[in-house]
């Protein structure tokens, strides 16, 4: 009987904790997804890519495929 009450009190504490934390986690995930989309969009602009990404200087010379028919 005592174990059942302990379980119920733990469940109540967990649910009250989840009610507080869940909206913050949802906001954080949404903000991170928006930030990801914005940065991916910014990387498509060559002038910004030089500022944001340090990996571009390690890229080689692009190979241009010639179209043969």
**For position 69, what pLDDT does the model report?**
58
Average pLDDT over residues 27-48: 94
Closest by CA position to 35, among listed 19, 55, 52? 52
pTM value is 0.64
Q: How far apart are CA 49 and CA 52, in angstroms?
A: 5
Query: How many Å is the maximal CA-CA distance in the chain?
Result: 83
40 lies in a domain? yes
For residue 44, tell me if it sits in a domain.
yes
Number of residues assigned to the chain: 69
Tens digits of residue pLDDT in 3-37: 788 889 999 999 999 999 999 999 999 999 999 99
For the chain, how many structural domains are there in total? 1
**How far is 24 from 20, CA to CA, in rounded Å?**
8
| pLDDT score for 2 | 53
Which structure tokens are listed for 15? 């649910």
What is the reported pLDDT for 56?
A: 75
Show the domain range for 39. Answer: 23-51
């Amino acid at each position: 009987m005592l174990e059942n009450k302990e379980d119920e009190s733990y469940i109540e504490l967990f649910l009250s904790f989840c009610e507080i934390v869940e909206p913050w986690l949802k906001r954080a995930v949404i903000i991170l997804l928006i930030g990801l989309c914005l940065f991916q969009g910014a990387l498509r602009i060559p002038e910004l890519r030089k500022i944001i990404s340090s990996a571009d200087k390690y890229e080689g010379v692009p190979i241009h495929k010639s179209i043969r028919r």
